[in-house]
A and B are shown apart, each in its own frame.
Chain A
């Protein structure tokens, strides 16, 4: 192998037992086998009913009671305040400032995983919800009545959250693109953006109501809440309980714009991976084109990245729509709109799989920074050592390259098999005849194989 002059790719992961592309073939075979297993053995919908079992009343009272909710809200507000203060007053070095790692790694990547495992854990810690509820309580105490809100436009659905999700990723990946550090955004810019977002969110909560806005428009509530639908734990009628995993997803996508949220999640992760990988030559050509026409260097870079990010969104949406359109060819199919909305939730496990696969190693490495020097010296000015860990560092040997690769492959395979299972289950609702239901899923199988192979291609490219 070492004698062959493969310039850029094949020699990169010599220590893997088989070439990286063979993992894509293996993953595809797993999906195809899963498809046939579902077609044979899964003949009635199982996720449409949650099989809800409430947990102990005492536990519900403790975890959902006002004292703990208030404490969690206070912690959320405090941490957001620390992040904003560190961003405005701390060092300009992105990797030494508490703000960026906390906002874009600990919270942004941590909450999706913990939400999937434990339920909607962001909800009590949501600083804007805490402030909004406090303001609402203050209003009630002073005015003696509940604040009047505008009716939220139904057609708007979760579109504000979908657009906001792209905007957050744009801020981090496009606006803050500087290379060399985990998150390249200027900390002061991140803090200023956080303040603007806080003002916008509180204004929207005042207009439409705290819970209404959190359910539909507040980016982080919608985004983390989406992942919380995957797991066992949830809240119904003010009571904590257990349900069948994945079952809550079947009702999540009913609001308009929900498909756009999950597509935006997959697309933004794909763009982050592809911009430094397979898209790089095309991005450079587009960048040169803008520069040659007199556009400034920074503007050209941002313009180019923005175009490719939107292309990623369009590409993921197109692949999904091809799968949906394919289902329409099976007799007895409902309308295209019903199918488009009805299968959007099947993309949620893929969004989580992409997130884990792409950012798993970043999260493990950056959390070492978060809980050592960033915690003790949040401003990054070497002037404080709050917990005696300011001299700590990141141990990059904690994860071997192959271990990262296997986690990436495993998460992609598991995510897509779960997505395939959800899609098959939903198909049984629309086509009670299991043969027709299985037939309708041919094209969703192609979608899943396409997402898996594309995901593995991106990862194999970026890991080189």
Chain B
């Protein structure tokens, strides 16, 4: 039995995009956490 994957190759670019998205997500999360921590320490 063959699976209907004939054109899956056209979407391979998504796999190359994922590391970039992971890094950007990590940066955004870290930046927000640091900003919140700085804000808390300023208020404290």
Contact = CB atoms under 8 A, between A and B. Distances in A.
Contacts of A151: none
Contact of B31 (A3, A8, A24, A329): A329
Contacts of A314: none
Given A9-B9, A9-B12, A439-B34, A445 B27 contact: yes
A5 B5 CA distance: 6
Nearest to A20: B12
A329 B38 CA distance: 14
Given A442-B30, A456-B16, A7 B9 contact: yes
Instruction: Indicate the member of A7, A278, A446 with the most B CB atoms within 10 Å.
Output: A446
Interface residues of A, number: 28
A27 to B, nearest CB: 8
A437 interface: no
Contact of A24 (B7, B10, B15, B34): B15
Nearest to A12: B9
A6 B5 contact: yes
A453 interface: yes
B5 A32 contact: no
Given A445-B23, A450-B20, A21 B12 contact: yes
Given A442-B31, A446-B27, A6 B20 contact: no
Contacts of A4: 2-3, 5
Contact of A443 (B3, B19, B27): B27
Interface in A425-463: 439, 442-443, 445-446, 449-450, 453-454, 456-457, 460
Interface in A11-60: 21, 24-25, 28, 32
A278 B9 CA distance: 12
Instruction: Indicate the member of B12, B19, B22, B30 with the most A CB atoms within 10 Å.
Output: B19
Contact of A10 (B2, B9, B16): B9
Nearest to A27: B19
A347 to B, nearest CB: 17
Given A32-B23, A445-B23, A453-B20, 20 more contacts: A4-B3, A5-B2, A5-B5, A6-B8, A8-B7, A8-B9, A9-B12, A10-B9, A21-B16, A24-B15, A28-B22, A329-B31, A442-B27, A442-B30, A445-B27, A446-B23, A446-B24, A454-B16, A460-B12, A460-B16
Interface of A: 3-10, 21, 24-25, 28, 32, 278, 326, 329, 439, 442-443, 445-446, 449-450, 453-454, 456-457, 460
8 contacts: A6-B5, A8-B9, A9-B10, A24-B19, A32-B23, A326-B27, A443-B27, A457-B12
